[in-house]
Chain A
Amino acid sequence: MTITRRTFGKLVLGAGTLAPYHFIRPAVAQPKPGDELVVGIWGGAQERIVKEHVEKPLVEKFGCKVSYVLGGTPERRARAYAERGRPSFDVIYLNIFESRQAVKDGVTQAPTDAVPQAANLYDIAKIGGYGVAFNPCTVVYDKRKASKPVTSWKDIWNPEWKGRIAWPSYPGAEGTAALLMAAKIWGGDEKNIGVAFEKIKELRPFAAIQGSQDQLFQMFDQGVADLSVEFGSFTRKYAETRNPNIEIANPVEGQAVAMNVACITTGSRNQKLAEEWINLHLSEPCMLAYAREIYYSPTVKDVTLPADLRAKLLVGEDVAKLVDFDWDTVTRNQAAWSSRFNREIAG
Chain B
Amino acid sequence: MNIDAFWIIFTGSLVAICCSLLGCFLILRRMAMVGDAISHAVLPGIVLAFLFSGSREVWTMLLGAAALGVACTFLIEFFHKKALVQADASIGVTFTWLFALGIILISVYAGKVDLDQDCVLYGEIAYVPLDLWLTETGMNLGPRTVWIIGGVLLILLLFISLFYKQLYLTSFDPAFAAAIGISTTLWYYLLMGAVSLTTVAAFESVGAILVVALMVGPPATAYLLTDNLKKILVISSLLGVIASAAGFYLALWLNGSVAGAISAVIGLQFLLAFVFSPTHGLISRRRIRTAVARA
Q: Please say whether chains A and B are actual partners in one complex.
A: no
